[in-house]
Structure 1
């Protein structure tokens, strides 16, 4: 098997380990005495909904609504699937969020609210609080995505500006709540995944204000007034741990990045390649993280430390990109471009970096791949890799080489998957 095929097959092994159709069924709760309402949001929501329908007892009817990004939908029978905008919200997401909230409010204690949440749900459940417009929420979201803030920080703001996020969906229901969650965050905290619609929220309005100031986010005077009022009075806060609204709420993580990295490691082990998992919580600027990976690869290649080649250096998590240029790309392509520059053609070193949801940043690709001759090939195409990296234009770099990896939506999301293969 050639190195490129090894990389791609390892990525598929990682994604398959988080396939909702495979992992949801064994985590389904017992049906209630009353009705079952299914609600959900995220890149995996449609696949999770189909898994529920295919495995729910026929004598216990259910209905519901889930929202997923455009292009991520699947056909279902009783659960309505709505497609909406991600990562910047739109009216479709707002409509879906408000419909979920109203449906949850009419449930009784004999009923069940079954939540299906995954990464991407924060922007999809985009019903803003009174006094904040959807256009304002869009503006704030765009600024947060460009400033280099961590996803957990972005979600602190989103939770407080939404009528559904930050535990507010669970708080609206008198029914028992059972949420199944596919994690796309490094700490697998239910309050961070899809901004925790059914989870206690440890953050506060004071945290929101601090983040707005730290990243110099420009917000409308009316929104700032709401923010400062809530900071000063402590009103309109999201529900916290210990609040009675969570007495009959269960949040269960059913897939994580760690599980997917382990599946990839098992794949490499079967090929006679030593896997070394560097961690599932790798964060920081993508181009700086790439330099660290290059240093480890060089140590393995030149000194057989900590293992003799062949070795697969596997990592997950979510890097960030502070956008200063006008190019096109995502954190995985930027990671790989920086890695290629740092490796400088190191022999027998190959790498892949992809988002397990199938979409890397603002491109249509999942990620890309590099080979030892990447820089040599790009010189023939008259492309300057350093200039493109400075312009956050990694997509153009890999498009010129035909090294983009395009999978389409995978309908799951356990964050980034990276592997550096040292042969």
Structure 2
């Protein structure tokens, strides 16, 4: 039959053999593959549960993408509200231990909460405070959560309160905007807090989105007036700190006023969605004493040329003259944050990978998503060149600053030196939250836009490189939602072999997609949906938690 081309690939375990052979040599080839399979099987028996990042397993980009996805989900799963509550709240006979502090139980517990992840905290709280006879130390409770959240988690009942829960659930703040439903919930929450006495224990549960779910403007200011005021400040470029300063000054609940409204002992459990987890910023700090100067809000209004109406003047003057009583019995505990998720990503990589280094570089990644994607690509290209021995062991101060990794520089340089010597992979882990400057009419989010920009930039940065290896990059939101889409983010890759370069960008162009057009229109979701049937999108669904975003870089030099 003459010569023929035979190509045998075992993609699952990354064996690849390709050669021009005759039919007469086919049996020899198959025996060789059988021997390789036997060697691999013996290796797996000797190293159970490990994936060797070595020469014999290099180059399987899909396997690398699977591994990086698993690391991301390990981080997300570590900040599930119901699991965090169990870690920080334990029942000891007739006392409740919270972060190693004991509180006496005498049928005196009340529960309030507000935020996107609060719904998942209720069941473990009620379980801990339920007695063996079915009674409970909880007497009453109200939580304010996003509209539709109970329907969203209907297929995940473990994230919802039980049917016989005594906690009232109020849904509101559609599209994360304070509305009348959220206002009604806030009134119920404040009313409950106000009626409690000094022997009562008030558990306050807070997560991201809590500010919009606890709107209670100080009379005579209306909810509409306050919302329009905050919108005007935002459009004029007010920072989040300035916005919160004004919110606290005009609210009956924010800036510590919720805690001041009750005589009960207050214990607040907080799932943070803000860089650095400043207590006074999360949900505008309803149980944290407000330390803003009395004229701070008015100065901000003047700074942005906001007209001070009669209602505003009444409230500002009242704040200046009123001495708000401070509740001395208040404890605030962060039970989960971006750092919690990053630590679990690192732990997951350590457990499942061998012959590699992994480093958490930052939990404060911020700035514009596209710019960050470009800087991340330049950084990744530089790291690959270093690992392959084509550049000196040096990272620019600009990269360190822009990617918020100055404090982690010693750990980074040590890991790079180890990997360069052994020609082994490095995993670099980031967290934080970026923004998108919307100029187009497409669909997308900060994570998808960052990954798309990275995909385009890494191709440019490495187009003339002789380095042999792969770069895989993932960026995703821990809440499972990136912008107005059903994706949490996306993943991309670039890989080089002696035979050429494979990359997601080349894959896209082969399918007739022009990434520049999608990026200009802020249409990263459509791009990733059309690319290879959407296989590079992250779609875990609503996760029930939110501690901002995670970014993971896997850089693997090949010998």
Question: Do the aligned partners of residues 231 and 389 (structure 1) sit closer, same or farther apart at CA in structure 2, a change above 3 Å counting?
Answer: farther
Is 1:300 aligned with 2:383?
yes
* Distance in 2 between residues matched to 1:211 and 1:363, nearest whole Å: 34
* Map of 1:399 onto structure 2: 529
Q: 1:75 aligns with which of 161, 164, 183?
A: 161
* Distance in 1 between residues matched to 2:77 and 2:232, nearest whole Å: 33
CA contact (8 A) 1:71 1:409 kept: no
Is 1:235 aligned with 2:292?
no
Question: Do the aligned partners of residues 328 and 129 (structure 1) sit closer, same or farther apart at CA in structure 2, a change above 3 Å counting?
Answer: farther
Question: Do the aligned partners of residues 393 and 63 (structure 1) sit closer, same or farther apart at CA in structure 2, a change above 3 Å counting?
Answer: same
Q: 1:49 aligns with which of 97, 122, 126?
A: 122
* Distance in 2 between residues matched to 1:32 and 1:203, nearest whole Å: 35
Q: 2:516 aligns with which of 386, 389, 410?
A: 386
Is 1:106 aligned with 2:106?
no
Q: 1:92 aligns with which of 151, 159, 181?
A: 181
Secondary structure class of the residue paired with 2:342:
helix
Alignment of 1:309-324 (within 5 A): 309-324=424-439
RMSD (Å) for aligned C-alpha atoms: 2.8
* Distance in 1 between residues matched to 2:258 and 2:318, nearest whole Å: 23
Q: 2:504 aligns with which of 374, 378, 384?
A: 374
Is 1:365 aligned with 2:454?
no
Alpha-carbon offset, residue 153 of structure 1: 4.4
CA offset digits 1:45-102 (Å, max 9, x no partner): 0111122012224252332111222343323312122222242222221111111001
* Map of 2:25 onto structure 1: none
* Map of 2:499 onto structure 1: none
* Map of 1:289 onto structure 2: 372
* Map of 1:36 onto structure 2: 109
Alpha-carbon offset, residue 208 of structure 1: 4.1
For the pair shown, the structure with the greater C-alpha radius of gyration is 2
CA offset digits 1:108-160 (Å, max 9, x no partner): 11111100001111111123332443334444555667777654444334333
Alpha-carbon offset, residue 321 of structure 1: 2.2
Secondary structure class of the residue paired with 2:269:
strand
CA contact (8 A) 2:211 2:284 kept: yes
* Distance in 2 between residues matched to 1:388 and 1:236, nearest whole Å: 54
Structure 1 length normalisation: TM-score?
Answer: 0.88
Q: 2:443 aligns with which of 313, 328, 346?
A: 328
Using the TM superposition, name which of 144-153 and 321-330 deviates more.
144-153
Greater relative contact order (CA < 8 Å, ≥ 6 in sequence): 1
* Distance in 1 between residues matched to 2:200 and 2:292, nearest whole Å: 30
* Distance in 2 between residues matched to 1:224 and 1:395, nearest whole Å: 43
* Distance in 1 between residues matched to 2:486 and 2:300, nearest whole Å: 30
* Map of 1:60 onto structure 2: 137
Secondary structure class of the residue paired with 1:24:
helix
Alpha-carbon offset, residue 408 of structure 1: 2.0
Alpha-carbon offset, residue 414 of structure 1: 1.3
Alpha-carbon offset, residue 106 of structure 1: 0.5
Question: Do the aligned partners of residues 277 and 382 (structure 1) sit closer, same or farther apart at CA in structure 2, a change above 3 Å counting?
Answer: same
CA contact (8 A) 1:20 1:51 kept: no
* Distance in 1 between residues matched to 2:192 and 2:315, nearest whole Å: 27
CA offset digits 1:143-178 (Å, max 9, x no partner): 667777654444334333432222121111111100
Using the TM superposition, name which of 104-113 and 392-401 deviates more.
392-401
* Distance in 2 between residues matched to 1:32 and 1:296, nearest whole Å: 54
Structure 1, gaps ≥5 residues long? none
Using the TM superposition, name which of 16-25 and 322-331 deviates more.
322-331
CA contact (8 A) 1:268 1:274 kept: no
Question: Do the aligned partners of residues 110 and 274 (structure 1) sit closer, same or farther apart at CA in structure 2, a change above 3 Å counting?
Answer: same
CA offset digits 1:194-241 (Å, max 9, x no partner): 221111223357544565677x69x7x5x655446655775388x8xx
* Distance in 1 between residues matched to 2:444 and 2:232, nearest whole Å: 17
Alpha-carbon offset, residue 332 of structure 1: 1.4
CA offset digits 1:341-376 (Å, max 9, x no partner): 221275611111111111222222211222222222
Alpha-carbon offset, residue 377 of structure 1: 2.9
* Map of 1:25 onto structure 2: 86
* Map of 2:65 onto structure 1: 4
* Distance in 1 between residues matched to 2:261 and 2:191, nearest whole Å: 8
